[in-house]
Structure 1
Amino acid sequence: MLPFATEFPVKQSNNKAAFAAEVFAWLRGMRHSQILAASSERELDGENVFLTAKGGEELRMRELRRGDDWDAIGFRHDMPDEQGRIWRTEAVLKRSLEQSGDDVVRLRTQCLAARPGAVLQSPKKPYLIKGLLKGSWGGIDGQIEVCDEPLWLEDSAEDLDLAEAIISGTGSQWLPIVYISAIGFEEWRLSENEIEKLAYDLGGVAHVVVEPSRTFSFKLRDVSDGKNIYGAR
């Protein structure tokens, strides 16, 4: 069964505890999780954390240091279920080596068999991603901010340049882009509510960019010489 995985830039953070706090908030909101029920703050503070709970639930956290400072922090959470499966979520926050660069967070969720014959399912996007985006962690991916809202382009020279970069495949470095073309002035095949829901569902997985009008499409065709990343005209 294929895992769910994504990675995207986040704003620089000198406080490793902020990422750990997001992880703990996610776990406290998880149904049936008991891993933090009897844990003190002291048990959760350290370079190596290993907690267990009834039923086989486990949480491991590790810190990688570079000299006197931390370079990365990560965790692995295992949640067994009654169907003989283990739902494993892993994430790593890697600090940027550049003073002005963004950090990067990488996440993966898997459904693993704990016993023979277990029926595996495809994992969904962990709510931890939503928590990070709600907490304004999203960094700048190329020329687009990582968030769970659509980017509504305006009929301006600046946004036309951005659309050209997107069409040429240079608009982002980490996440793919869902580009929604207009069929009229502020008119699309999808309703505004559907576009907003799409961006909400794809937050942390892909950007959703919406062009303003059909006239904008013609301008984009002209400035890009009719080319796009698929090589068609």
Structure 2
Amino acid sequence: MITFSTAFYVTKELTKEKLIELAFEWINGSPHYGFNDINWNGEDLYEQKCEKQKFSLIQSNDKKILAIRLENIDDDNILWTNDFVYEECDVNNMLLVRLAHDAVDKESVVPRRYNRPRLMKTILKLGYGAEDNNLLISDREILITENNLELAENIINGKSKYLLPVVYVTKRFMDNDTILNTKELAKDLAGTAHVVVEENTEVTTKLKELTNGINPFNGAVHIYYSDKVGTRVIPDEFSKANAFRFKIVNAVCRRLSLVKVKDKYTWGTIRYQKLLERYRHDEKKNQELDDLHEEILKLKEKEYNELVEGMREELDEKETEINELRSKVESYEYALKNIKKEQEGNVMFNCREEEFFEGEIKDMILKLLLIEKTKMDDDPNQIGWRKYHVLQALLQDNEIIGTGEKLKTELKEILSKVDRITAQDRKKLKELGFVRKEHKHNKLYFHGDGRYFIPIGKTPSDFRAADNAASTAINTIIC
């Protein structure tokens, strides 16, 4: 559950290298973490684990975004996740900070209180906060006097836009003071909101004229959010300083924790993009996918020209080639999709055979494993073997996709006909992946592979043994 979230501008002096240096000082210097002096050699994806903590660092593909995550399980069995996402921008850089906590088990009690990430406090204490429009992001309050009334007027009337909310504090008429410790309030909200404080009630009176009476007054605090949805908090006669301060801080933090973060700043998106890039690089698929895309576009253009010229037969062949290319693209997409799972315990095998349709080889292996397991089911001795347990686990955790069964059904429906196969049937066979080589009209090859072909009869008499021919073809091609 997201407990705390904010995003603010930082100066150019806070580089990625400096941020990582501060992060390592924070983690290596803490007695609460069990890392042995973690360090980074510049790799785009870096992780370190110990008993109850995990540190991760990721750079985006364009090197402009750096994401840091620290996960820590405390003594109450609560998982705390600290996220820092840094982006290099044209004027000022951006830093997004999020804190989440979750119960590890049912007995864990999730606390309501929390502390802002120490790294965030350090960054602001060292003066790396940048200008947010005309307000400096820091841990200090901003005073409104008669000399800068225009600043207050623009805030109250919504003329100035800020990334962070503005907490506007007024003085009471009875004593020209406020029960709030505004200096502590500014420290509590550093990097989360600007704290703006009126010097005295004379400022309040003058702003009433400048804002047509919509300004807060008499000790009230108004929170101006970037979406212009504001909240006014008024202390009652029994309010105490700390309680009132915490009420304001909680109102701001609770509101910001509900704001949706752009996808490019989320840890999951950055990590997925990096893993996808690594997969494409390792498997050298990226260029192949681009080439396939260009080839499909060229085939589509040629298809249109042939249609205009009336070359019907050649057009059908090109449609088949396009379907084959689409099948390859779907196969690559299927492989890329599996990268996102990242499940522990995966078993991977290399296979030189090209997969002709989605899930073909995996389904084939699972079916063979099912046959082997079924042989053991009725033997009370064998069901206690490790071999049986592994087979059982593999079959439970992996689902048979079943694309081959659909192909089998459609192929049997066509090949089992006792009369001549029609032109529509031939077109359907091409869509299923069967192609003709060297204009041999009586033979179709599965995905152009010379090892797998089916004979197509020329006359109705050739189909007296149609069922046997269909069975032979299906057994040759499909497991």
Shorter-chain TM-score range: 0.7 to 0.9
1:153 maps to 2:150: no
Give the equivalent residue in structure 1 for 2:121.
130
Distance 1:94 1:142 in 2: 18
Q: Which has the higher contact order (CA 8 A, sep 6+)?
A: 1
Distance 1:28 1:185 in 2: 51
RMSD: 2.5
Give the equivalent residue in structure 1 for 2:66.
73
Q: Could you tell me whether the CA contact under 8 Å between 2:13 and 2:128 is conserved in 1? A: no
Query: Which among 200, 207, 212 is matched to residue 213 of structure 1?
Result: 200
Q: Find the residue that maps to 1:215 and give its secondary structure.
A: helix
1:109 maps to 2:99: yes
Give the equivalent residue in structure 2 for 1:56.
52
Deviations 1:124-161 (A, max 9, x none): 211111101012110112221110111112221xx111
* Counterpart code for 1:134: K
Query: Which among 83, 108, 111 is matched to residue 121 of structure 1?
Result: 111
Deviations 1:59-101 (A, max 9, x none): 00011142xxx211111111112322211101101111x3xx2
Residue 144 to residue 18, structure 1, CA distance change in 2 (3 Å): same
Give the equivalent residue in structure 2 for 1:187.
176
Residue 134 to residue 185, structure 1, CA distance change in 2 (3 Å): farther
Give the equivalent residue in structure 2 for 1:164.
153
Unaligned regions of 5+ residues in structure 2, if any? 216-227, 233-479
Residue 186 to residue 16, structure 1, CA distance change in 2 (3 Å): farther
* Counterpart code for 1:49: Y
| TM-score, normalisation: structure 1 | 0.83
Which structure features the higher share of strand residues? Answer: 1
- Identity across the alignment (%): 24
Q: Tell me the matched-pair count.
A: 218
Q: Could you tell me whether the CA contact under 8 Å between 1:4 and 1:108 is conserved in 2? A: yes
Q: Could you tell me whether the CA contact under 8 Å between 1:151 and 1:209 is conserved in 2? A: yes
Q: Find the residue that maps to 2:146 and give its secondary structure.
A: coil
Residue 185 to residue 160, structure 1, CA distance change in 2 (3 Å): farther
1:30 maps to 2:30: yes
Q: Could you tell me whether the CA contact under 8 Å between 1:93 and 1:103 is conserved in 2? A: yes
